[in-house]
Structure 1
């Protein structure tokens, strides 16, 4: 018997929706309507409609241009339903558009074209002569929750749109179509019918039908070669299914669903996760770009075994994604709170995540060594950021360290820390001190200045009082309950300027690090923009020792040898405030900073 050939058809949407389609449960969920937590994104549906409408507007009385929306790949099952292997985003969007056009006409109390009804749902006769009612498109993946049936039935407007990611995206897409009908078509029945006519008669696709799923997957890969149309994450998924046995599809589908959920819940871009995973797991150059990731997989199967053991490889990705999500929540790979990770986010902001590469590489370490790794990353990252080390440069150093850390035992860990972190900070010690001695409020991001002051203030408190629930968490110091106080006020009153002397209105002095102090909001409101001699009467009300001791050491209240007194005695105080005091205090904070972030000049101490 001759093997079935691959069939390629150029067809209109009218012809396309004369058949029945199914998105199999192992396929990617619907993402075109997706928005981020800020409500940004989801523009693909709007672009889809806008592009079609632009061509529609070029139609004349006698001629309408055709518009091509792409290619879909299908494979017919035993019941003559076409399984969508590629093209579910545009197919689902086109189907939702038909549902929305119908719903708009219903709400306008207009009669429906029979053809429109048949493009949404129809019936087919099986080999036994039984008539079976079907919707033209069905979604089988679990995340869809049967939501498309509600839109097909005309009840989607009242559906719960927040149950799952796919339900939310489909709801967003449907709402985008309805807004297009309301605004662009102005809710006019004649315009709606005319647009429906253009959509189904002049919008075209190429449908490629294969005899087997394996061939469909191979064509999918060919069409999207080198990431054209899809990203490396989608192509990798296809590659795994293409090499898996059909009996593994369900298990592989479940693993991939968990994987994408973990990445989504980490608020991360899948490609960045995939790139970081490769940098952490293999000896990959830090110059690896996202657009060549798929090519890298095709050339390095011997390393990953993604073709010979696709399910096992997917499980490794899932384990890494679970750890990654924990890192994004300031936790270690096992889910325990890790303050070093949280602190690094406070100093770097949410966009700096290169250190996740080395965190993934260090998952095998004991909890205590992993915690030490996180602390060392925090210290070194701060030094890099303060000294202006370029992101590409410190990422390269992180990747180099990650490559070594993968094979570093716990017994070798101290030497690893010395080689890759302590010596790194030592090499930047002079630059670090010089930078801090001239640092001003506007020289770096405000949240980083807040982190700097908070970290130094916390350091002094820990020396004096020891660990406690309130003092161990840096978040308590950088929280909204505290202010960055300008000791010489910005826009101070006449008394404050007069008492300070020369330079009292000089922004170069006012914005210097030496003129900044962390203080509670309630106290800051009380002192306002007054003169220093009045402020120092209120500073001792602060719970922070560094702030209390701004003008006097506040010692001798507990005992000569106790920790609090020793900590207070080690602080420099400033009974009067002038330009020299600002300069001296900045030098003092710089010396404290070299202790806080362990930035020692000279030879770094070896491992204990």
Structure 2
């Protein structure tokens, strides 16, 4: 085998074809890996544009073996390892080509297509420069050929849509054409790949097996420790016993590695990635080789910084009450984003440069910055970089708190103003912001701001977020909302705009009791609550739009006082409303073959259907604008392409993608994406109500009886079929569990693991009141073997063969549903699908054993 470092352009050029062998799994990169790659690309683009010398970013290795060669054909290479990287870069270039086409850059389009994506003078499969496994081939070639179905629901389509989105947003926020050109340069010439080429006759499968053998490698801190103590032949044992070992024992392996990275960041090496810790620390320490006293001082400084780091991750060790409280709040918030700045502030406190009180005030600004951005749903892109830059960029000629506030108030750092905060609390779907603990934290802090003489012990209390206006309201709730609807607005549309906003949310330990009860019943329960905010809600006479907005305004004033804003505190003039960026991202994230409504988009971004329609009407070039239809599923009469556009009418485009329309021009309802589904595609943590998640304790006789009674009452014709299918499921080795709320949902569960390593999966959830059956692809995509798109597609196809079930393929990452009445006549066919499901899981268990 031979190896060489090479750029992507040089690797891919020429009449070649890179074939992914059938024994490799399908393309599996998700949002996390794509985001990490794009952040690296973004750094290189910024360096290039600013005139800095950009060092190529090492992407990894690609192992190739010679394939079959035919005279006059392309030179074939088998991709033994590295198919994920190659496929990702090809999809990035396909997206860049289509972005350039939208810009009207025909020359750029042709250059990318002919130079990188295809073998221009070959036909059939030889035409493609990369040939994925057969399972991925259709989705991949759709992207390379720019077919209507490009950007489907599988991982290939999701990666293509990801790059379309970041390219569109990057150009919007940057230097336009020059930025796009630089992205192409970085992708071609500044991503470094080690090409490892096997010789003809090598056992390719064995090479693949050995490369992917799961051994435990040395961590970055392990490598650094070995290097440092190699340079300490005389003092090594004492330094290890007195300094390194206590630090290692107190922090543990993961936090030690984090400390070694933070040490670099706080020193000003703010662009260092955690994967490059050893190399950067080695470079820094190399000049001290031969000076054991200097190296010992370095280890002593690292150990001292380690003790400060312990105060961040365990604030009880902080002696100052004010500073301890600030650190505790950030620890409760969660995450590691604030670590570099917090560690820098503790450095300043310990060396006497600032006071604990000043550092505590600085951390209050950090908390405010994070909280306001979450409430306003400001993009988290670049957030880690901002805090990594802070130690180096803070002004040193003013108090630390003032310096931190001035730094975070910088225009490109997007600290929402009071005006933006108030508007977001009124209109944004807070329930989809951040992670559940962060949502609970914000409500907890708002409750604490009441200053109760007998405050609730939030550590011991088991509280969860509750919707006052329920997520699944009864007709009584809709009757109340009907009193406040606008012209041409339905009670359901008004409900959707209000239900997830902060004004409609509270904390309670009585979630199961409250459920979707009438407001009078909720008043009785909330009135006995120890939380002041709940007592306020209980004191109102009704709960509709006016009350929700009034409470939102009240909470907003508390939030403004609790979390101080940026210097000036005024929304920058001329700056685009962030909701439009989220709208564009949502439309790009939509798989081909789906549509949504103006109301769904408005609910997602915290707006109203009218301004959403006006925005899209004035910006018809927004990617996917034609996928937004009226509430009836029709193309809006006001929709127009930009002048001079030769694009097909929206209905024709959607039909080409696979959206079905009835004779009156209404799009198929099953292919519609709701606001919650759009939020899921954007990576938001769309929490399912506790009522609709399986209980962990297995079958419960009382819950089972409630489920049977509700099913018999609401869907008597389907009752026998559902219960028969559940009995069949038990015979296959599964069990049944139930939800805990008023509508007692039902989940057929299967433990496809071992006694030591449980592996719970479930194919669907049955709702006996609303009469829907959700197929939980959203959960299955993270659980083997259904993390493989092909297995989920097979489940979908088997279900769709049953009359009455019509699940769109575009929802393979979501929770599409079918009516429970299908069980009335097709119970045996559903049993057949579940039998396949259990058999597939058993085969996977045998493979993993």
Which protein, 1 or 2, shows the higher relative CO under an 8 Å CA cutoff with sep ≥ 6?
Answer: 1
Normalised by the length of structure 2, the TM-score is 0.36
> Is the radius of gyration larger for structure 1 or structure 2?
1
Normalised by the length of structure 1, the TM-score is 0.48
